[in-house]
Structures are given as C-alpha cells and as structure tokens.
Amino acid sequence: MVWKLLKFVFMLPLFGLVAIVATSCTQLGLNYASLETANKGVARPALELVSLEDWQVRETPKLQAKLEEAIFGPVPLGIKARIVSRRVVEARYLGGRGVLEELLIELGEGVGAVQFRLALATPKVPLGPAPLIIGQTFCDNMGVFEYAGLSAPMRGRSCGMSANRSALGAFFMFIFGEYINKAPMEDYLERGYAYANFFAAEIVPDSAEAGRRVLDVFPAGADGRQPTGAVAAWAAGYFAAIDLLSDDPRLDAEKIAVFGHSRHGKSALVAAAWDRRIKAVISHQSGTAGASLSRDKPGETVDHILNGHSFGDGYPHWFAPEFSAFAKDVDGLPIDQHALIALIAPRRVLLGNGRRDVWSDPNGAYRAAEGASGAWALYGQDGLAQDGMKAFNREAGIAYHLRPGGHGIVRADVDAFLAFLEVSFEGG
C-alpha cells in the first residue's frame, strides 16, 4: 500500500505534463457547448442548389477547387499504390473471431515514394462479403488492434498495448477515453465487419518541420499535383487502402466506411468528399477546418489552429500554405466547412461531438450540417433531420451525435458509431 501511494505521488508531475501536452491539441472541457443555434450565424456562403445536374456537373468541382485553393491544397487522387508484402499475423485473432493480416503498402515511385503499414482484420466466419471500415489513427496498429505480432511503426511513437502500456499512455486513455488508442474490434468482428487501419504518421509525420519535408517530395496525384498539406496527404492512405482492398472477394466494395477522430476526422471528410467509393464517413470531433464552421465560433479559431495558442503550437503543416492568409480574416474565406460536408451527399455522414468539447465547437458542426443539408434534398433525401443537437437520428443522411464529456472516444461514441454503421451497411 505504501509503495502504491509513493508511486502515485511520484507520478503526479507526469500527470500534470500529460494534461499540458493534451491541451496542446484540445483544451480540456471546462465549459459546455451551447445548444442554441438559431441565435448564431448560419453557414455562409450559402450553397448554390439549382438542380441535381447543376450540382453534380458544375457546383461539385467548383467547391472542390475552392477547398483546395483556400484550405487543404491539392487532394492527391490516383497515386499509384502497390502491396510490397502481405502476411497473416494471426489466423485466430481474438479467440478465433477473425483473421489478422498486415500489408506493407507503397505510394508512388522513386525518391518520394512513401511506405506505410495497413493492418486488416476480417471476420473468421463471414455471412458473405464483409462491409469494410477503414480507420486512420493517432496510434500504431499494435495499439489499435491490441496485438504484439503487428510491426512497430516506421515513423512516430508507439502507443503500446494494455499489457505493457506506460503510465503516460494509461493516463492519456484516462483523459481521452478507452478507445482513443484502440479500436472496438470485438464489436466490429461480431457484427461481420472487416476493419483496416493505418497510422497516419507513417504517411506524413505530424510535426510542422518533418511534415513539410515529406510533403515537399510527396507523390503527385494522377493530375500531376502534389499535396501541400498533411490532411490531404493523409487522405491518400484511405484512397490506397480502397484501391488495394476493393478486389478482395472477402470484402464488399459497395459497403466501405471511413473513420477518423480529431485531425483525422478532417482527413476522413476530405477523403469522402473526393472519393465516391466511400459510402459512409464517421468524422468524430473534427473541429476547425473539419466539420465545424470557421466563422461565428467559440473554441479553436483558424488563427489558433495555424499559429498556436496559449497551450501549444499550431499545426500549419496540416493545410495548404494559402490557408494562413485567412488566419485573422475568416470573413475573407471564400468557402466554409458546410461545403465539405455537402460534397459527400447523398452518402452518409456521422458527426460525433462531446458537450464539453467546446474547443472543437459542436455548435458550429451542427450549423455546418444545417448548411449542408440542401445537397441531400437534391437527391430526394434528408440531410440533417433531427430536432436539436441532442436528438441523434441514426437514419438521416447527416447523423449528428452529441454526448456528455470532452474530447476523446468513449463507449457512448462507439455505440453511436455502431448504430450509424448498422443503417449504413444494411441492404444493398
């Protein structure tokens, strides 16, 4: 007992350090997000919704071009991807629930080629081709799948597993939730879903200096343009996974969902807005330059995300250099995040939020969903169809979920993800 008490006392400074580091990417929730939306600014500029044909032929490419020019930089569709190696890691993963594999993937060719590892778990006894969820995460695959037989990350720091997780990692999970480091694999496999995951830092390191060095030589898309921001480059991981897994007879290429949390929720939205093979997207707490509007907002501003704030540095490498022109002039932005969401119509979107995660602006995400809903109406479908921020409707084209608590992934989030995926994957 004495030793446990001493250990706790010795760990207090470390816990304090974790809290400081944690708030460099999101402020710990001390306030509540407002549930009132009618008294706040609407998404602007409003979408041009003349007809479905006009939306598909004229508006979609116009909005994509504006998002690239002002915020994300070129989105690299069509980078040549190949499987360098593939191995079965565990034929009886999770007590026989699934088969766990690891693929080494290469994007591009020559000097700028990028390699990353994709881990894939498929149901052991599928009921036909399995729906596929592709995740992009903060943590390496060993931590996400809780399996030591997977390779250590080629770049970035390992999150570890529950059996050997450091005190730092354990406290990180205490703050941000059980599922911040790992995926709910039992839930996915028992429902017949396959899950693939990659560690985003293997594609582009998540630091301004190292990230820019990789982006300078990153492979170009089919149109010859290189990404100039990490969010767009991370989206290339989703594209490559789809390219290389779509022909797998165990997987249903018509039922592909992508998942991302926080910065990776931004990348998931970008991937879905550019790649129509993606049928559903879970963008959880993606915040500024993700699902939340840039104007009329509390919490993290465009200036914060680019140039830093009192708790830490900014993240200019996530975006095109041109985005910096709007750091102190958000009203000058020619586009806002409702347009990014609208580009996914009529496919399905889940926007996950925490009431205390004011830094990520749940209110701004709801108003962005309202502003995007007209795109679903062009297809004769509902976009956002719920009475307020707390009335989660898993059936709608835009399903908005708000739970108590702050930034992170907890069981309530996983339950919402599963409810959304059940609707997304049902039928043909």
Q: Which tokens is 46 given?
A: 């409003």
AA identity, residue 156 = G
pLDDT at residue 131 in the model = 98
pLDDT surpasses 50 at 234: yes
pLDDT surpasses 80 at 11: no
Q: Which residues fall within 8 angstroms of residue 38, CB to CB, at 6 or more apart?
A: none
What is the band of 174 on the pLDDT scale with cuts at 50, 70, 90?
A: confident
**17-26, 164-173, 233-242 — most confident range:** 233-242
pLDDT surpasses 80 at 273: yes
Instruction: Look up tokens 């250099």; give the residue.
Output: 321
pLDDT at residue 170 in the model = 73
pLDDT at residue 157 in the model = 80
Q: What is the mean pLDDT of residues 172-178?
A: 83
- Averaged pLDDT score across all residues of the chain: 92
| Positive or negative: CA dihedral 59, 61, 63, 65 | negative
pLDDT surpasses 90 at 335: yes
Q: Which tokens is 333 given?
A: 């932005």
C-alpha distances out from residue 322 to 67, 336, 340, 421, Å: 11, 15, 17, 36
User: Angle between the 167-176 and 2-22 helix axes, to the nearest 10 degrees?
Assistant: 60
Q: What is the mean pLDDT of residues 57-80?
A: 98
Q: Which residues fall within 8 angstroms of residue 176, CB to CB, at 6 or more apart?
A: 22, 407, 408, 409
AA identity, residue 162 = S
Q: Return d(Cα 144, Cα 62) in angstroms, integer.
A: 37
Q: What is the mean pLDDT of residues 406-414?
A: 97
Domain spans of the chain?
Answer: 2-425
What is the band of 167 on the pLDDT scale with cuts at 50, 70, 90?
A: low
**Assigned CATH topology for domain 2-425:** Rossmann fold (3.40.50)
What is the band of 407 on the pLDDT scale with cuts at 50, 70, 90?
A: very high
Q: What is the mean pLDDT of residues 137-154?
A: 94
pLDDT at residue 1 in the model = 45
Q: What is the mean pLDDT of residues 184-189?
A: 98
Q: Which residues fall within 8 angstroms of residue 255, CB to CB, at 6 or more apart?
A: 131, 132, 279, 424, 425
Q: Return d(Cα 373, Cα 42) in angstroms, integer.
A: 13
pLDDT surpasses 60 at 207: yes
Beta bridge partners of 106: 82, 115
pLDDT surpasses 50 at 171: yes
pLDDT surpasses 80 at 126: no
Task: Decide: 399 and 420 in contact? Cβ < 8 Å.
Answer: yes
